[in-house]
Structure 1
Amino acid sequence: MKKRLIKALGIIVLCCYYSLQAIAQQEPLYSQYMFNGMVINPAYPSMDESPSLTAVGRNQWVGVDGAPKTATASFYTPVKATNTSLGFSLMHEKITVNTQTAVNFNISQRVKLNDKVYLAMGLKGGMSQFKEDNSSLSTTDPAFAHNQSYWKTDVGFGFMLFTDHFFVGISSPTFQSINLGASANKVDVSSHYYLQTGYLMTINDNVKLKPNVLLRQVKGAGLQYDLNANILLKDLVWLGVSWRSEKTMTGLVQVQATKNLQIGYSYDTPVQSNLKGAQTVSHELMVNYRFSLSKWKVVSPRYF
């Protein structure tokens, strides 16, 4: 009984800590988003001319009981000769006693401004189910006396201006969230806004450099940013490093295992941790498969 009580108290403390973090960031946090741009911007699929299937698993704050664990899968494909792309995504995240399961659908359209520049607009819509397994807590607090389950809608948008070597995008993947039904203890989801840009520089035939900047703004919180740079060696291996304004550093590697299959891993470590005595590093694994539209057309390299 004593052990259960200590565990429950630990979970409640983590809930409080995470709620403070959530003021700044409520959406799942990824480290390899620059290779999986639809999670940031619904217009991103218009930058790719091949169908793409991506799966991501993230284990955050290793060693902390009840820390976030996230799994996502997404797919998009261009529609023949229409400059339209369609896609969908699935997400499941567990944090302490809370779980969120979401399904979203995506449509984007691009237009050609001149021989080199394109403009794309994307829309996202879907639903999320939130659950609270309060029965696992050893507490007499009436606010946690019963399990909870409720639904929310999710609507987002995004714009991308891009060429073969440059892009800039502005988006709000969670622009509006509406409660469905009645339930206590519902999470208030704030609007999220992103401004992202990147540039591909060719150093020589074997080396390319891609710096990226991401600005994040959540309603009620200050401006945050990510700075990252990735080097591509012989069109086979990406090596990257990132600095997040929350004082977190990330190292990543992406390997082009075959012409269609890309596998990536990232490792996050805080420069300064507020969770005493815990190993607060994070691991993320990503697998991407890009399909050939026909057996005669080779999948072109994707740099963004």
Structure 2
Amino acid sequence: MQKMKYSLAALAFALVLNTSAQQETQNSFYMFNATLLNPAYAGSRDALSLVADARLQWVNWDGAPRTNCFTLHTPLVIESVGLGLNVLNDVVGASTRNSIFSDFSYRIRLNKNNDRLAFGLRAGVDLITNNFGNLAVNDNTDPIIAQNSFNKTLFNTGAGIYLYGKRYFAGVTAPKFIPNKTSDLSSFASKEALHVYFIGGYVFKLNSLWDLKPGAAVRYTANAPLSIDGNLSLFFNQKIWFGVMYRHGAAAGANIMYQLNNTFRIGYAYDYSITSMTKYTSGTHEVLIGFDFYKKTETVRSPRYF
């Protein structure tokens, strides 16, 4: 019986750590804040762009993911160069990940319509803390619990490509290349998996008041099923976005974004699981606040679709 308890504890921790290693942070607003995934997006809004995003996943589920992130990016005086900064705090159960990554992009103007092709690089660190002392357990003498906690500082780097015009965008990115070991526990090994994202969308003008933006994201993860997201958004009067999304076999949801002016926007998204766990949670909530600061001498491109 005691041996079984140890095995169950080991299995539980393995699942937590393996989930952390295999799964990049989920985000419902990646179409409006692509710099979170793709370093080539840095500078593409032609403004000093700041975004704060808070996500509370699987409400009512103990130890469910909680994510807060802050992103900043801007073009430089040399307009072909962009720089960005991404700061993230991600908590899943007993595991906390604090990340800081910097982005560099180089943009090439393709034609008179100002379509551009951008190449991006990313580098930074993940600070991972696993504190098993925060877990409620029946047996504090368990050898895994006895290790209490461990910390890891992991360097990583990534890259991306981003093609965009006034009404379309497409990109491919691998945010992290290095398969870092995330666990020091002797019972099992856990490594970060390679994630590759393919993201694209197009904006159709329906009439003077309405625009329609379909989009999709495909995520390839080593040794895991392909993940496919589809989303559809309506843009009313260049002020309000109404959107729905579907994540194949996993979740569905809706979102709204209000563009107060060329500087300020705020959005809310709600996702709910379509798996068997839906009866144990009341969904996922996410809030985004964004600011774009343009130079006084610069002509503002309005509206911004992504």
Q: Which moved more, 1:159-168 or 1:88-97?
A: 159-168
Structure-2 residue corresponding to 1:162: 164
Q: Paired residues, what number?
A: 292
Question: Which residue does the alignment assign to 2:35?
Answer: 38
**What's the counterpart of residue 7 of structure 1?**
none
Show the counterpart of 1:221: 224
Q: Given that residues 39 and 84 in structure 2 are in contact (C-alpha distance below 8 angstroms), is that contact kept between their aligned partners in structure 1?
A: no
Counterpart CA distance in 1 for 2:191 and 2:43 is: 31
Question: Which sits farther off after the overlay, 245-254 or 66-75?
Answer: 245-254
Shift of 1:109: 0.7
The separation in 1 between residues aligned to 2:167 and 2:43, in whole angstroms, is 15
Q: Which runs of 5 or more structure 2 residues have no equivalent in the other structure?
A: 1-7
Determine the C-alpha separation between the residues in 2 that align with 1:291 and 1:284: 23
Aligned to 1:141: 142
Q: Does 1:58 align with 2:60?
A: no
Amino acid in the other structure paired with 1:141 = D
Residue matched to 2:78: 81
Q: C-alpha separation between the residues in 2 aligned to 1:267 and 1:157?
A: 30
Provide the residue aligned with 1:6 in structure 2. none
Which residue matches 1:124?
Answer: 122
Could you tell me whether the CA contact under 8 Å between 1:290 and 1:299 is conserved in 2?
A: no
Is the contact between residue 10 and residue 144 of structure 2 (CA under 8 Å) also seen in structure 1?
no
Instruction: Name the amino acid aligned to 1:64.
Output: W
Cα distance, 1:35 vs structure 2: 0.6
Structure 1 unaligned runs (5+)?
1-9
Aligned-residue identity in percent: 28
- Cα deviation for residue 222 of structure 1 reads 1.9
Could you say which residue in structure 2 is the equivalent of 1:282?
284
CA distance in structure 1 between the partners assigned to 2:217 and 2:80 by the alignment: 26
- The offset of 1:298, in angstroms, is 4.0
Aligned to 1:63, the other structure's residue is in SS state coil
Q: CA deviation at 1:177?
A: 4.4
- In structure 1, C-alpha distance between the alignment counterparts of 2:184 and 2:169, rounded to whole Å: 42
How far apart are residue 45 of structure 1 and its match? Answer: 2.2
User: What secondary structure, in the 3-state scheme, does the structure 2 residue paired with 1:213 have?
Assistant: strand
TM-score normalised by the chain length of structure 2: 0.88
Q: Which moved more, 1:220-229 or 1:185-194?
A: 185-194
Structure 2 distance, partners of 1:232, 1:14, is 44
CA contact (8 A) 1:161 1:167 kept: yes
CA contact (8 A) 1:11 1:65 kept: no
**Residue in structure 2 matched with residue 293 of structure 1 by the alignment:** 295
Partners of 1:98 and 1:131 within 8 A in 2: yes
Distance change (3 Å), C-alpha of 1:269 and 1:20: farther
The within-5 A match list for 1:245-256 is: 245-256=248-259
Counterparts of 1:168 and 1:268, CA distance in 2: 24
1:236 aligned to which of 234, 239, 249: 239
- TM-score (normalizing by structure 1): 0.88
Look up the match of 2:112. Answer: 115
CA distances 1:216-262 after superposition (whole Å, capped 9, x unpaired): 01111121100001110001000000000133101000001233110
Deviates more, 1:146-155 or 1:60-69: 146-155
How far residue 295 of structure 1 moved from its aligned partner, in angstroms, is 6.0
Deviates more, 1:11-20 or 1:166-175: 11-20
Q: CA distance change for structure 1 residues 245 and 11 in 2, over 3 Å: closer, same or farther? A: farther
User: In structure 2, do the counterparts of structure 1 residues 16 and 115 end up closer, same or farther at CA, with 3 Å as the change threshold?
Assistant: same
> Alignment RMSD, CA only?
2.4
Which whole-Å deviations, capped at 9, do the CAs of 1:29-65 have from their partners, x for residues lacking one?
Answer: 0011111101121111243111100000000000011
Task: Give the CA deviation at 1:144.
Answer: 2.6
Match of 1:175 in 2: 177
Equivalent-residue separation in structure 1 for 2:264 and 2:117 (angstroms): 28
Task: Give the one of 60, 70, 94 matched to 2:91.
Answer: 94
Partner of 1:176: helix, strand, or coil? coil
For 1:38 and 1:45, the matched residues in 2 are separated by 6
Matched residue of 1:274: which SS? helix
Per the TM alignment, residue 280 of structure 1 is displaced from its structure 2 partner at its CA by 4.4
Distance verdict in 2 for CA 1:238–1:14, change over 3 Å: farther
1:197 aligns with 2:195: no
